[in-house]
Each structure stands twice: as structure tokens, then as C-alpha cells.
Amino acid sequence: MRSWRIVLLAGLCSCGSGTTTTITFSAQNYLAGAMVGVFGGVPRLEGLVPAVLVPAARAAAGITFELDTSPGAEPNTFAFTMPFDCDGDGTNDTTATGTAQLNLDPIGNLASGFSATANVTVTSGAKTFQGTLTLRFDSGGAFLVHGSGTVTDSDANTTVTIAVDEATPLHIRTADADAPDKQPNACAFSIDGPLDLTLTHASGEYAARWTFDPTSRLVGLTNGRFTPTGGAEETLPDATVDMSPNPPGGNLNRWAGTWTLAWFCAPSRSGTDTMTITVRDANTIDIVRTEPPPDGRTLAFTATRDAKDPDIVRGEYQALDDTGSYIEVFSLILSADGNGFRYEAELRFDFGGNANCGGTATRD
């Protein structure tokens, strides 16, 4: 499934169901675990991104995405402001702002060959991210990202610099614990590729290469070094860190209830549906999705839990609307507090072509 992947939140948000790890070097206890949050806010931001291409949905979500018509502006350059819920408590507390230059008109071109370079600023409490990122799709539908950015945290007095080389971009897909090459190694995502990390603090500087392997839940840390303030550089042994979701186990009970889903698709579609979810057994939930009048369709289908995390479910079903028959392939990812979930989907039309969809749901 092709879906949106936005990596603007380095170190800003918590991972939800992911784990936090503190790395210890020599006699120093240095918090390299700050980087465990590198993909933490993605599930909440990701569902909003298709709304950028749907004017009515932009207005409903408080998003601005305006073409730069000033003299000399490059084609397909947009200024944007995107508020979202970073900590998952149901209230927007963070805003991403900046400019994005697209190589193609995004309508109808969200596929291999489409790319966007964004200059971004994200602020969450005492933390601010600033950087330049290039995002694109590969032919297999994975989302690729390269670029660099810096997170400053005035409370912790730390600065984190992240760099991903254009020659070795990060390949980012939604994880699937049942697929050997899509293991969850960054919250709900399966990442492939290296990034270089430098973290400075009053006590010194830490630097290493973090390498994500989509066949493993563990992230490899190599070329590590720590230089204490006023001291000599220390070489650190190679290590691993676990940024995956919950281990096998848990149950689906948190899914049960009635939800309001605000969804958006590109090309332009948007709406608000009611979803009623019941737990069938240890691995399956039943979903009834009802559209409001005048359409008023009711769709009934199932979803199956991820083998490693009950807060991720997936499924597919066939449906018919005014454009024809289609298959919807979807994933739902529950928020940390259990009061919301992120929706992402791909509609595969029988007459040809796909539509990318996203959205967020809140518990009624």
C-alpha cells in the first residue's frame, strides 16, 4: 500500500506504544533515547496529509496550503501551516510551517516520480525542529526521505542534528509483523537505511550512525563516539536499540466502541463517517462503517491485528460508489491513550487508478 510518510517530528513527540531506551556509555548516562521519538508523532500527522490536496478538508483541519504567486517563485511552490495533535491527547498542540516545492502538480501524480522538497519548522513546547527534507515515492510505493534538520530543546539544553544522505535515503513503509521484510523497527513503521545523528549537551557530544534494517526490530548503532566536555573523545562499542511497538501479546479490547472518522482522499474527496467496532476474537475486530445522508451507505467488514501490536489492525473490502467498484486496503493505528486512531488506505478502482486516503478518528 502506498501512503504518506512525514518525518518532520524528529525528537518532538512520543512513540505511543513504542519503547524508550537510554544508552549508557562509559561512566556517562547519556540520553540517546531522545531519538526514540524520531517517528513518534507521525501516526497523528500522517492522516492529515492527504487533506492538503482537498480544499474543503484543509479548511476543516485548519490547514493552509497556498501557491506562491510572487514574482520569480518556482513552479509548484507552496507555503503551508499544519496544526496537529503531537501528544495524542485529542487537542492540537503543535504546528508545522514552511514552504514546499513540488516537482509535479500533486493531483494525479502521487506515485513514482513525484517529489517535494520542504523547508520546515515544527515547534512542540520547548522543542523546535528546523530542516530541509526531500520526500518522494519509489516504484514499489515506499516513501523515501533524505535531508537534514536540527532539534533544539531549551528545557533539556540539548541539540540533536539528523542527516540522511541523498544517495542512501530512508525507505519508509507501514510495518507488517507477518512480512519478513516489513518488521516494525520505528514505532508503527518499517524503515530501511542509515541516518547520522549528533546530540550535544552540557556534558558532551554523542555521535553515531543509526542503521534501520526492515528485516529486524532492532536498530544498529555504529561508528559511535562520545566526547565529554573538556575531555578526550571515547570510541563506543557497536550497539542496538529497540524502537519497535509492543511485544507480542495484549488484546484488542481498546478498539471496541463507536468512533467518528474524518477522512480525506486525493484526488479530492472527504467526509465524516461513523464506525462501530466490536471484538470478534483474539485476532479480529468487526467494523460497521456508516456514511451520513444523503448517501447513507453502511459497509460491514473485518480487520486483523498485527502480530506484534494489537494497536495496529489491517484489512480490505470491496465496495461500490458513484465512480464504480473498488477495493479498499486499509490500516488503523490506535493512539497511545486509546481515544483516537489514525486511518490510512488505498482505493484500487476496477476501472484503473488508485486514490490515497487518510484521516483521524475520535471516540464518541
Question: How far is Cα 251 from Cα 253, in angstroms, rounded to an integer?
Answer: 6
- pLDDT (tens digit per residue) in 110-152: 555 667 788 888 877 777 888 888 877 676 656 788 899 888 8
Task: Report long-range pairs for 163-168 (Cβ below 8 Å, ≥24 apart).
Answer: 163/195, 163/196, 164/193, 164/194, 164/195, 164/196, 165/194, 165/196, 166/134, 168/193, 168/194
Q: Are residues 70 and 196 in the same domain?
A: yes
Q: Are residues 75 and 212 in the same domain?
A: yes
Q: Are residues 215 and 265 in the same domain?
A: no
Question: How far is Cα 308 from Cα 175, in angstroms, rounded to an integer?
Answer: 10
Supply the CATH number for residue 344's domain: 2.40.128.20
- pLDDT (tens digit per residue) in 243-297: 776 555 678 999 999 999 988 876 667 888 999 999 999 899 999 999 888 778 8
Beta carbons of 192 and 202 less than 8 angstroms apart: no
Q: Are residues 206 and 162 in the same domain?
A: yes
Q: Has residue 335 been placed in a domain?
A: yes
Number of domains in the chain: 2
Q: What is the reported pLDDT for 25? A: 35
Q: Has residue 101 been placed in a domain?
A: yes
Tens digit of each residue's pLDDT, the chain (364 residues): 223 222 333 344 444 433 333 333 332 333 334 444 444 444 445 555 556 666 666 776 778 888 888 888 888 888 888 877 665 555 677 778 888 887 766 555 555 566 778 888 887 777 788 888 887 767 665 678 889 988 888 877 778 888 999 999 988 877 777 788 888 887 667 889 998 988 887 778 888 898 999 999 888 888 988 888 888 888 888 887 777 765 556 789 999 999 999 888 766 678 889 999 999 998 999 999 998 887 788 999 999 998 777 888 999 999 887 777 889 989 898 877 788 888 888 888 887 777 778 888 889 8
Backbone angles phi, psi at 306, to 5 degrees: -70, 140
The residue among 242, 271, 305 that closes a domain is: 242
Q: Has residue 229 been placed in a domain?
A: yes
Q: What is the reported pLDDT for 164? A: 92
Q: What is the reported pLDDT for 246? A: 56
Q: Has residue 2 been placed in a domain?
A: no
The residue among 242, 271, 295 that closes a domain is: 242
Contacts of 225 (CB under 8 A, 6+ apart): 206, 207, 208, 233, 234, 235, 236
Burial bucket for residue 77 (CB in 10 Å: 0-12, 13-18, 19+): middle
Taking the whole predicted model, whether its pTM rises above 0.85 is answered as no
Q: Has residue 247 been placed in a domain?
A: no
Domain, as residue range, for 232? 23-242
The residue among 193, 218, 242 that closes a domain is: 242
Q: Are residues 227 and 280 in the same domain?
A: no
Residue 6 CA to its chain's centroid (Å):
5
Q: Are residues 94 and 212 in the same domain?
A: yes
Q: Are residues 350 and 265 in the same domain?
A: yes
Taking CA atoms, 112 is separated from 95, 109, 339, in Å, by 28, 8, 35
Q: What is the reported pLDDT for 238? A: 85
Q: Are residues 158 and 188 in the same domain?
A: yes
Q: Has residue 80 been placed in a domain?
A: yes
Q: Are residues 59 and 206 in the same domain?
A: yes
Q: Are residues 271 and 167 in the same domain?
A: no
Question: What are the beta bridge partners of residue 115?
Answer: 136
Question: How far is Cα 289 from Cα 269, in angstroms, rounded to an integer?
Answer: 17
Taking CA atoms, 300 is separated from 274, 305, 344, 349, in Å, by 12, 17, 18, 19
DSSP structure class, residue 37: G
Beta carbons of 117 and 126 less than 8 angstroms apart: no
* Residue 273 host element (H or E): strand 269-279
Q: Has residue 12 been placed in a domain?
A: no
Q: Are residues 262 and 228 in the same domain?
A: no
Q: Has residue 354 been placed in a domain?
A: yes
Question: How far is Cα 74 from Cα 295, in angstroms, rounded to an integer?
Answer: 41
Q: Are residues 190 and 147 in the same domain?
A: yes
